Structures are given as C-alpha cells and as structure tokens.
Amino acid sequence: MTPRLVFDVAAGLAILFACVMVVHRHPVKSVLALVVSFFALAVTYVLLAAPLIAAVQVIVYAGAILVLFLFVLMLLNVPEEVRQTPDRPIHQALSAGAIVAFAAALLASLRAYGATRAAPSAELPPGDLAPVARLLFSDHFLSFEALSILLLAALVGSFVLARREESP
Amino acid sequence: MKVSASDWLLLSPELFLTAAGLLILSISAFFDKAKEEFLAFLTLLFVGVAIGLVAFLSGYGGRGAPIFAGMFIVDNFAIFFKLLMLVSIALTVLASIQFVGRAPYPAGDYYALLLFTGVGMLFMVSGNNLVSIYVALELMALSSYILAGYFKLEIKSTEAALKYFVLGAFSSGVLLYGLSLVYGIAGRMGLPDLAKLFESQAKSNLLLVGILLILAGLLFKIAAVPFHVWTPDVYEGSPTPVTAFFSVGPKLAAYAILARIFYVGFPKFHADWGLIIALVSAATMVFGNVAALLQTNVKRMLAYSSIAHAGYALMGVLGFRTEFGLWGILVYLLAYTFMNFGVFALVVFLETKGYAAESVADFNGLARRNMTAAVVMLVFLLSLAGIPPTAGFIGKYYLFTSAMKAGYAWLAVLAVLMSALSLFYYFRIAAAMFFSEAEGAPLKSSYALTAAVLICAAATVIVGVAPQPFVEMLRACVIKAP
Amino acid sequence: MTITINHFLVVSFLLFSIGLLGVLVRRNFLTVLMSVELMLNAVNLNLIAFSRRLSDLTGQVFSVFVITIAAGEAAIGLALTISLFRQRRTLNVEDANTMQG
C-alpha cells in the first residue's frame, strides 16, 4: 500500500466515524464510533512520523478515556435519546452560519499556506523518541509538573463530584 | 537548560502553594465536620505565607528575566497580579468558612481545590510561552469547574458546573486551535520569539485567523459579549463564595494573559486586535448594563454588572504604545477586585442568614437591621458605579483616560454614558436597603465574613481617598511595549 | 499524487468543525463531551502536522500535554455526568435549566 492510500483510508474513516458519533442517538454507539475515529487518527500520526503520539493516542484515548465513557454509560444505564424537533431554529441557523463563515475563512487561508511542501522531510528520523523525551523533560518540564497538579485536581474533583453523599 | 537556585526562589510561591494544597488534602481526612474550621485557618495561613513570598520577590534583584528555558517570568506585572490574586483567594477563604461549614460537604477538598486554582492562576500570569500559559489556564479552569459544582446536592450548583464546563472546554478548544495555527506559522511558542519573528514577516491570513481564535478563547474567560452567555447561570448557580471568587480571581488571570500575549507576543498586529477589542468592549458594556437594568434577581444583576465591568476593563488594554500602556487596567483591576468581591461577600452574608438574596426585596430595610452592612454595601455600590471618592472612580478615571490617549474617544464617551445608566440598578439595591421597611431582628455576621467585607471596604475607600501612592506603584508594573 | 501537509490540515479542520457542530447542536451531555474531545484531537492532528512540516518537536510535546488535559477534562465531565444523572435521570443539557435564561 502506498502512503497515499493509507492516508486516504485513515482520513476518510476518521471523518466518517466522527460524523457518526455526532449524529447517532444511541450513546454507546456514539462512543464506539469515536473509538474508530481515534484509531484512524493514530494511523495518520504514524504517517506524520510521530509514533509516540500514535501509541499514546491508542493507549490513552481509545484505551482509557473512551473506556471510561463506556463504563459510565453502562453504570448509569442511559436510555436511547428521544428524537426531538429542534426547538431553537434561530440558534441552530446562526451556529451553522458561523461555522460556514469560519470554514470559508480558514480554508481560504489554508490554500495560501505551503501547499507546495510535501510532508516527508529528511531532518526528522522517524520513530526516534529520544528527542521528544529530551524536549519534554528539559524545556517543558515546568508545564509537565503543572500538568501533574492538574491531574491530581481532576482526580480529587471527580471523586468529590461523583461520590455518593447522604442527603442532610 | 540550567536551573539556578535563584530560579527556584522565583518559583517559590507556586511551589509553596502546591505543597500547601497537598497538605490540606492529606490531613483533611483526619478532621470531622465539626473541626473543619481549623483547615480554613490553615489555608488562610498558607495563603498569607504565599503573599509574603511574593512580596519578598517584589524586592528581589534577580527577577525580570525569563527563566526555566524562557517559560516563566517574574516581572513587576506578574507580581502585581499574583498579590492581587492571592488576596482574592484569602478573601474567598474568609467568606467561605461559615458558608461551607454549614453545608454537608467536606471542606478540606474545597480549600485544596481553591489552592490548586490559585497555583494555576499564579503560573498563568508568569507564563512567557504559549504552551506553559495554556497548561496553567487548564489547571485553573479544571479546578474551578469542580468548585462551581461543589454543592452537588443542589441542582443549581450542578447545572452551573455543567454550563461552565461545556462552555469552558469549548472555549479552550477554540483557543487551542488558534494556538496550533500560530505554531504552524511561527514554529515557536515563546512570546518574545514570536514578536521577533513577526517583526520581519509579512502578515498572513492564517496567522490572523489564529490570533482571532486565541482572542475569542480569552474573551470567553473574561465573559465579554458575545461570549458571555455562561456568566449569569454560572454566577447564580455556584455556591456564592465561589461566585465571588469567579467574578474576581480567574478574571484577573485572564486579563493578565490577554495583556501579556497581545503586548509581548503580537505587538505587530495591534491595529487589528486593538480595533476588535474596542468593538467588543463597547458591545460588552452596553449589553451588560442594559441586561442588568432588566434583572430582579440580585445575583444575576451582579453577574450582568460584572459583564459590564469586563467591558470597561477591556478599554485598559487599548493603550498600546501610548505613555499609559496597561496602567489604566492595572489601576482599575485593583479597585475592581475589592469592590466586586465586597458586593458578593455581602450577598454571602445575607444567604448565611437564611435570606436567599435572590430578589432585591431581600435587601429591604437592611439599614435598620445591620447599619454597618448597609453602609458598606452602599460604599461598594457607589464604587461600582464610579462615584468619587471611591476606588471605582479612580479606576474608571484611569481607564477612560487611557482610552482617550489611545484615540478611542468615542469609547470613553460611551463608557461614561453607560456608567450613568448603571446608577439606576445600583440605586435600586441602595433604595431597598435604606428606604424600604421590613420586619426582622438585627442581623449579626460571623467574624471571618466581617473581616473579608471590612478589608474590601477599607481598600475601596483608601484607594479612593488617597490613590497617589498606589497609582505610582502600579506605574512600574506595566509591560513595556517593544 | 503525494500527500502534502495541507491534506492533514484539511482533515483536522473538518474534524474540528464536526466537533464544533456537535457542541453547538447536540443536547446529550455525553455527546457534547465527546465532541469536545474530537475538537482537541483535531488540534493534535494540526500540531503534529505542523511539527512535521517545521521539523520542530514542540508540536509533539504540546500534543502530549493536550492529550493529558483531555483526560483530566473527560474525568471531570464524566463525574459531572454522574452527578447530573443522579439528580435528574437525564443527560439532556436543555432539561437542566432551572434558572431563567
């Protein structure tokens, strides 16, 4: 398979299943569609010579976060959403209009951005983790430590919010 | 990357506050509900020490240069914001003691999360790189979502957290997309590096879209029109001490990074973002004041009033490359912190006394039942409206002057008109307090809450009567435009 | 035809728009949460594509950070979901509207 073919299939799947996720009324199927979409994204990361991110994507996103979603869904036993008629047509029309305008502006400016450059570049040896790790733990170590506090806060917070409390 | 002992010293307030949060978290398990007040005083003590550390750093010679590989900077600007934010956290703790104490939730986690929010805010104002600023912003935001929903048996609190979460996560997604576009154009994230690079580069549309998205994401955090929709619901539903905190602390941090990102990182495009900020500022003050006028619920009225104040404050960012620079917004934020916190602290006071403090009628006859509270409330309201001799007047004076100097005379005129309009709804509360009859025994406040309110009132009056020393000090805190 | 960086940027942009649309029009809180995750993923794709094009690893490091933050956000979002569902037996955001808009 050529990289081009791999890219086309992966990108197509990612977009298709993202649409399925947004449109589907059944939450469990939505989550599963998102899993497929994220797996396909991991493939594009490999094409971009970022195997570390691809692995993290599969392990953390598809493996941990989305499983957590499924877990909560099963725990709560959420029923299928009832299809309702949109009751705020102005709101929806406005948001659709905003997105179309945003799309036009962005796609127009993307055309101007390096369309001529091909992705592969010889300077980055694909698959080499050491430079990423070096950058992560030297220049960015302060943000890395701040993130550890963030995760702790999230942990405490989700415990606080989800813990069952007796009503007073 | 070399890290010297002096760098760690400059980081000490953040390190100390993190350690304090961890300590509170771990010892809170040993305190039952009745003894939790001790945790609050411990938190207060820790915040006090952190204030001391920042004050020490303000006299420390080694500050001012970027450290930790250019990620972190402790300049006068950051020190001003850190002091003000730590004071707002201390005030929040004082206002929370009774409010959280009588609620059926563990207080230890609450204070620890408040401290973590504080760590995020301190990191934000010292951020000198888009990556570190974003990470700090998320640390602040995630902790504050939890605080909004802390009273989880009350449906309003959960709803407030839900709305805050959805719109907050959405806005940081937009901000992040903008950051990624800027990264794609520039290939670097350090603010000074960005400015240096853009100096020699032609404008590209993609870059402008990126900057616009970053601006939109930040305006969400400041609650400027048209990104304000979450504010009234979140302010109404959150536990009131948390609302008081939200109206001050996270906003201070958002103004600080807005100013830093656009002054240090994107000075070349000031004509573009300046105009957008001026328009947003005008729309925000008009909408906030008109909507506040139509409200009868006090918390919502104050929420719209703080939207209006966000509109005024944005004028202070416009003074780019004038002699004023950010001076106006610094003076204004000093005043805003105390007067706005004070107003919400008095709502906390009424709520702990069993009044919902929902409608203006809850303030009826307050003067008869607690004269001090009524007089202090009047001071805050006058200050919010911008009547001399209060801090609010001084703040607005500097803001309006800075807008005039920057060539936005029309905006200053509009702001004066809107301030006049705001008198109407502030006066409604004042009239209820002094001219309405109401039954009821005298109300007594707890010592901690009294302390918080009196600190705010004292600051509002002192800055209003003798502004000169403060204003001069703040002159040294502005970021110099390159 | 070879793959250029623009292909990745367009895919990322489409995913971002789908996420944006999901947040704006869907009323199920879990779907909204997943749409936010999709937006963050689109940003990651952007960052990694730019990182490749610029031969600069900051983009990859930043995307690791973004994934971590997304994990924290998901945890809090799900805790809120549980809290909401216990009180209202629904995940519909618009039903959660006891305050006057």
Say how far apart CA A133 and CA C60 lie, in whole Å.
10
pLDDT of residue B287: 92
DSSP C92: B
Using DSSP's 3-state secondary structure scheme, residue A138 falls into coil
pLDDT of residue B243: 92
Say how far apart CA B60 and CA B73 lie, in whole Å.
13
Q: In this complex, which of A109, A143, A146 lies closest to B205 when CB atoms are compared?
A: A109
User: Quick check: B231 and B303 in contact, CB under 8 A?
Assistant: yes
Q: Where do the structural domains in chain A lie, given as residue ranges?
A: 1-80, 129-168
Chain B residues within an 8 Å CB radius of A113: 184-185, 204, 206
Q: Which residue of A has its CA nearest to C57?
A: A132
Instruction: Identify the band that residue B51 occupies on the pLDDT scale cut at 50, 70 and 90.
Output: very high
- The count of other CB atoms within 10 Å of the CB of residue B11 is 21
Say how far apart CA B405 and CA B128 lie, in whole Å.
28
Candidates C75, A145, A152, A129; CA nearest to B132 is A145
A44: left (phi > 0), else alpha (psi -120 to 50), else beta?
alpha
Chain A residues within an 8 Å CB radius of B104: 165-168
pLDDT of residue B197: 87
Enter the tokens of residue B454: 């009196």
Q: Which residue of A has its CA nearest to B213?
A: A102
Report the C-alpha dihedral over residues B196, B197, B198, B201, rounded to 10 degrees: 130
**Whether A109 and B206 lie within 8 Å, measured CB to CB:** yes
- The count of other CB atoms within 10 Å of the CB of residue A144 is 17
User: Quick check: C79 and B145 in contact, CB under 8 A?
Assistant: no
pLDDT tens sequence across C29-84: 888 899 999 999 999 999 998 888 888 888 999 999 999 999 999 999 999 888 88
| Chain A, chain B: beta-carbon pairs less than 8 Å apart | 98
Q: Which residue of A has its CA nearest to C91?
A: A78
Enter the tokens of residue A77: 């036993």
Kindly tell me the sign of the dihedral angle through the C-alpha atoms of A100, A104, A110, A116.
Answer: positive
pLDDT score of A75 more than 50: yes
Chain B residues within an 8 Å CB radius of C53: 184
Q: Where residue C55 sits, what CATH number does that domain have?
A: 1.10.287.3510
pLDDT tens sequence across B9-47: 889 999 999 999 999 999 988 887 778 888 899 999 999
Does B12 contact A at CB distance below 8 Å? no
**Whether B146 and A157 lie within 8 Å, measured CB to CB:** yes
Does C34 contact A at CB distance below 8 Å? yes
Chain A residues within an 8 Å CB radius of C53: 114, 117, 119, 121
- Segment A81-88 shows an average pLDDT of 57
Instruction: Identify the band that residue A126 occupies on the pLDDT scale cut at 50, 70 and 90.
Output: low
Chain B residues within an 8 Å CB radius of A167: 104, 153
**Whether B72 and A142 lie within 8 Å, measured CB to CB:** yes
From A91's Cα to the closest Cα of chain C, the distance in A is 9
Instruction: Identify the band that residue A87 occupies on the pLDDT scale cut at 50, 70 and 90.
Output: low
- How many domains is chain C partitioned into structurally? 1
From B188's Cα to the closest Cα of chain A, the distance in A is 12
pLDDT tens sequence across B286-303: 999 999 988 888 888 889
Does C23 contact A at CB distance below 8 Å? no
Q: What percent of chain A has pLDDT over 90?
A: 14
Chain A residues within an 8 Å CB radius of C20: 99, 102
- Segment B216-244 shows an average pLDDT of 89
From C100's Cα to the closest Cα of chain A, the distance in A is 16
pLDDT of residue B120: 94
- Segment B70-93 shows an average pLDDT of 92
Q: What percent of chain B has pLDDT over 70?
A: 98
Q: Which residues contact B384 (CB under 8 A, 6 or more apart)?
A: B305, B309, B339, B340, B343, B392, B422, B426
Chain B residues within an 8 Å CB radius of C71: none
pLDDT tens sequence across B373-384: 888 889 999 999
- Segment B325-350 shows an average pLDDT of 89
Does A109 contact B at CB distance below 8 Å? yes
From C12's Cα to the closest Cα of chain A, the distance in A is 9
Chain C residues within an 8 Å CB radius of A68: 74-75, 78
Q: Where do the structural domains in chain B lie, given as residue ranges?
A: 1-265, 269-482
Enter the tokens of residue C36: 């936010």
Q: Which residue has the higher pLDDT, B245 or B359?
A: B245
Give the angle B416-B420-B425 at the CA atoms, nearest 5°.
140
Chain A residues within an 8 Å CB radius of C69: 147, 150
Q: What is the CATH number of domain A1-80?
A: 1.20.120.1200
pLDDT score of B219 more than 70: yes
Query: Among A105-109, B21-25, B187-191, B276-280, where is mean pLDDT lowest?
Result: A105-109
What is the C-alpha end-to-end distance of chain B, expressed in Å? Answer: 26
From C40's Cα to the closest Cα of chain A, the distance in A is 11
Q: C63 in a domain, yes or no?
A: yes
Q: Which residues contact B120 (CB under 8 A, 6 or more apart)?
A: A146, A149, A150, B136, B137, B138, B139, B140, B141, B143, B253
Say how far apart CA B150 and CA B110 lie, in whole Å.
8
Does A116 contact B at CB distance below 8 Å? no
Q: Which residue of C has its CA nearest to B145?
A: C76
**Whether A112 and B109 lie within 8 Å, measured CB to CB:** no
Instruction: Identify the band that residue A25 occupies on the pLDDT scale cut at 50, 70 and 90.
Output: confident
**Whether A146 and B120 lie within 8 Å, measured CB to CB:** yes
pLDDT score of A144 more than 70: yes
Chain C residues within an 8 Å CB radius of A135: 57-58, 61
Mean of the per-residue pLDDT values of chain B = 88
**Whether A153 and B146 lie within 8 Å, measured CB to CB:** yes
Say how far apart CA B330 and CA B477 lie, in whole Å.
8
User: Quick check: B448 and B348 in contact, CB under 8 A?
Assistant: no
From B178's Cα to the closest Cα of chain C, the distance in A is 9
Query: Among A93-107, B2-16, B93-107, where is mean pLDDT lowest?
Result: A93-107
Query: Among A136-140, B45-49, B82-86, where is mean pLDDT lowest?
Result: A136-140
Q: Which residue of C has its CA nearest to B233?
A: C99
Chain B residues within an 8 Å CB radius of C16: 173, 177
Q: Tokens 């940081």 appear where?
A: B172
Does A133 contact B at CB distance below 8 Å? no
Say how far apart CA B223 and CA B216 lie, in whole Å.
10
Mean of the per-residue pLDDT values of chain A = 79
Q: Which residue of C has its CA nearest to A46?
A: C48
Chain A residues within an 8 Å CB radius of C83: 161-162
pLDDT tens sequence across B374-428: 888 899 999 998 888 888 899 999 888 888 888 888 999 999 999 989 988 888 8
Q: In this complex, which of B138, B159, B180 lies closest to C47 when CB atoms are compared?
A: B180
3-state secondary structure chain B: CCCCHHHHHHCHHHHHHHHHHHHHHHHHHHCCHHHCHHHHHHHHHHHHHHHHHHHHHHCCCCCCCCECCCCECCCHHHHHHHHHHHHHHHHHHHHHHHHHHCCCCCHHHHHHHHHHHHHHHHHHHHECEHHHHHHHHHHHHHHHHHHHCCCCCCHHHHHHHHHHHHHHHHHHHHHHHHHHHHHHHHCCCEHHHHHHHHHCCCCCHHHHHHHHHHHHHHHHHHCCCCCCCHHHHHHHHCCHHHHHHHCCHHHHHHHHHHHHHHHHHCHHHHHHHHHHHHHHHHHHHHHHHHHHHCCCEHHHHHHHHHHHHHHHHHHCCCCCCCCCCCHHHHHHHHHHHHHHHHHHHHHHHHHHCCCCCCEHHHHCCHHHHCHHHHHHHHHHHHHHHCCCCCHHHHHHHHHHHHHHHCCCHHHHHHHHHHHHHHHHHHHHHHHHHHHCCCCCCCCCCCHHHHHHHHHHHHHHHHHHHCCHHHHHHHHCCCCCCC
**Whether C99 and B232 lie within 8 Å, measured CB to CB:** yes
Query: Among B100-109, B174-183, B327-336, B377-386, where is mean pLDDT lowest?
Result: B100-109
Q: Which chains reach chain C with 3 or more Cβ–Cβ distances below 8 angstroms?
A: A, B
The answer for A 18-57 residues in CB contact with B (under 8 A) is: none
pTM, whole model, 2 decimals?
A: 0.92
Q: Which residue has the higher pLDDT, A106 or B38?
A: B38
Instruction: Identify the band that residue B84 occupies on the pLDDT scale cut at 50, 70 and 90.
Output: very high
- Segment B118-132 shows an average pLDDT of 93
Say how far apart CA A67 and CA B435 lie, in whole Å.
60
pLDDT score of A2 more than 90: no
Q: Which chains reach chain A with 3 or more Cβ–Cβ distances below 8 angstroms?
A: B, C
Chain B residues within an 8 Å CB radius of C84: 158-159, 162
pLDDT of residue A83: 56
Q: In this complex, which of B105, B136, B209 lies closest to A106 when CB atoms are compared?
A: B209
Q: C13 in a domain, yes or no?
A: no
- Write out the residue range of the structural domain in which residue C67 sits: 29-92
**Whether A142 and B18 lie within 8 Å, measured CB to CB:** no
